[in-house]
Structure 1
Amino acid sequence: MSGGACGYNIINADEKYAAALSGALFNEGQSCGQCYKITCNSQSGSKFCRDGSTVTVVATSFFPSERALLSDSSDTKLENEHFHLSQSAWNEISLDESKVVPVLYQRVPCIKQGGVKFTINGQAFFMVVLISNVAGDGSIKSVSIKGSNTSWIVMSRNSGANWHSNACLKEQSISFSVTLTDGQNLKFEDVVPENWSFGQTYSSPNPMQFNN
């Protein structure tokens, strides 16, 4: 499940709690980074639930429902709300005999260790920034970027948690203004140094992180 439609590079312990969302929940990538507490709904009559068990997962990818696949349509109205869990997360709420179980779910704040991470990719006049390790609401509504020699520039969602700009910011320190879907905003001033390079990840200093 590493990578996925959101673009996160999730490995080791993080991958245990990764989940792909159906189109009805994925919302064309706007739900990337959101956290959900999932409970197997034993009151539905399913005999495959682990009683009283819950698991908290983070949205990292997209997984269309069988109904949507059979229809060969991108219409999210054909999608049920469902989660495709990593095996470890699945085993925490369900017995292994079943592939599908009814669940109850709710959005919960994301709890993260360390600062917000900015991974710089692209090329001279097309910068793509993956923003990850976002606490609180988890999902991002808008991003602006600023070089040490520029004013603020609004970025566009490239795909999932990737945001892009056509600005050339070579040999400039870079700042970001990030607004979450719940309205929280933080400005990460000069979080990327002027000697930055493509392919590198830069983190905001602790405790600069969104509220849970």
Structure 2
Amino acid sequence: MKKQLCALLGILLFPVLLCASTFTDSRATYYGTPDGYGTPSGACGFGEYGRVVNNGYVSAVSRALYKDGAGCGACYKVRCKNPQLCSYNGVDVVVTDYGEGDRTDFILSPRAFSSLALPNADKELFNYGVVEVEYTRISCKYPGFKDQVSYKINENGNYPYYLALSVLYVSGQNDITAVELWQEDTKQWKPMRRAYGAVWDMTNPPTRGPITLRFQATTSLGYTYWVRSANAIPKVWKAGATYKATVKLITK
């Protein structure tokens, strides 16, 4: 394992940890999908987003990296350690699922696993099944989502009695560790419950809309920030819909 000094260089809307990478030794394997992309049925609850985000370069991760769902949406660089078969550049993946393999921390989509290989060496790499790797947490970057996120309403939502949602396209090195809704009638923030993975829910959500949300982002160094998005979800929201919102850093 390599150990190098890291420093927090600034506070942005989404705090980004800028540092020399520290890589951790591990193992990786892959799961099968017909098109090589991810799966919409992952434990994070992302749905179709979990299949195609990052062009399908996604991964299921071990319990230690899944973090009871807080690790959903995290980004990692994974590099295979076989120089005869693998590229030093490795692959950048987004966590969309949970899975335990043969002492592995990563179960990659076929697309991501093949990208570990040198040109024309991917078939031989697949024959190995499990490979030695090293990995490091990196900042997520989503073009078109500067100072913005999306909220995906879960298909199980039932307006106006039950609201469940996921926060998507969170940049930087941040884990979503709390989500709250503004209760206009009581002038208070009301916490949502982590239902599973990256899905947060609430029974009897506010009916006076649109809905204002804030969420807690915790960096990989343990620093915690609150980010708010006003009018994030319309008063009459729809199950399965996705709403894009501008966000800003706040003090709780």
Into which bin does the TM-score normalised by the smaller protein fall?
0.7 to 0.9
TM-score w.r.t. the length of structure 2 is 0.69
Determine helix, strand or coil for the equivalent of 1:89.
Answer: helix
1:58 deviation in Å?
0.5
More moved, 145-154 vs 100-109: 145-154
What corresponds to 2:113 in structure 1? Answer: 90
Which segments of structure 1 move beyond 4 Å, counting only runs of 4 or more? none
Q: Structure 2 CA distance, aligned partners of 1:92 and 1:100?
A: 14
Determine helix, strand or coil for the equivalent of 1:181.
Answer: strand
1:193 deviation in Å?
2.2
What corresponds to 1:153 in structure 2? Answer: 190
Q: Structure 2 CA distance, aligned partners of 1:31 and 1:147?
A: 28
1:13 deviation in Å?
6.0
Instruction: Report the residue type matching 2:179 in the other structure.
Output: V
1:176 paired residue among 213, 227, 231? 213
What corresponds to 1:109 in structure 2? Answer: 139
2:239 paired residue among 180, 198, 210? 198
1:100 paired residue among 126, 130, 134? 130
Question: Is 1:144 the equivalent of 2:167?
Answer: no
Q: Deviation per CA, 1:62-114: give whole Å up to 9, x if none.
A: 11224xxxxxxxxxxxxx34201111111111332221110000001110132
What corresponds to 1:69 in structure 2? Answer: none
Point out where structure 2 has 5 or more consecutive residues left out of the alignment: 1-37
CA contact (8 A) 1:53 1:92 kept: no
What corresponds to 2:6 in structure 1? Answer: none
Q: Structure 2 CA distance, aligned partners of 1:164 and 1:135?
A: 22
TM-score w.r.t. the length of structure 1 is 0.80
Correspondence 1:27-106 to 2 at 5 A: 27-42=67-82, 47=84, 49-66=85-102, 80-94=103-117, 95-97=122-124, 98-106=128-136
1:197 deviation in Å?
2.6
Q: Deviation per CA, 1:37-67: give whole Å up to 9, x if none.
A: 1111137xxx5x313231110100011224x
Determine helix, strand or coil for the equivalent of 1:184.
Answer: strand
What corresponds to 1:120 in structure 2? Answer: 153
Determine helix, strand or coil for the equivalent of 1:14.
Answer: helix
How many aligned positions are there? 191
Aligned alpha-carbon RMSD (Å): 2.1
Q: Deviation per CA, 1:142-201: give whole Å up to 9, x if none.
A: 111124445210111111110011233235210111111222321101111223233221
CA contact (8 A) 1:171 1:196 kept: no
Q: Structure 1 CA distance, aligned partners of 2:138 and 2:248?
A: 16
Question: Is 1:6 the equivalent of 2:29?
Answer: no
Q: Percent identity of the aligned residues?
A: 28
What corresponds to 1:130 in structure 2? Answer: 166
Point out where structure 1 has 5 or more consecutive residues left out of the alignment: 67-79
Q: Structure 1 CA distance, aligned partners of 2:62 and 2:205?
A: 36
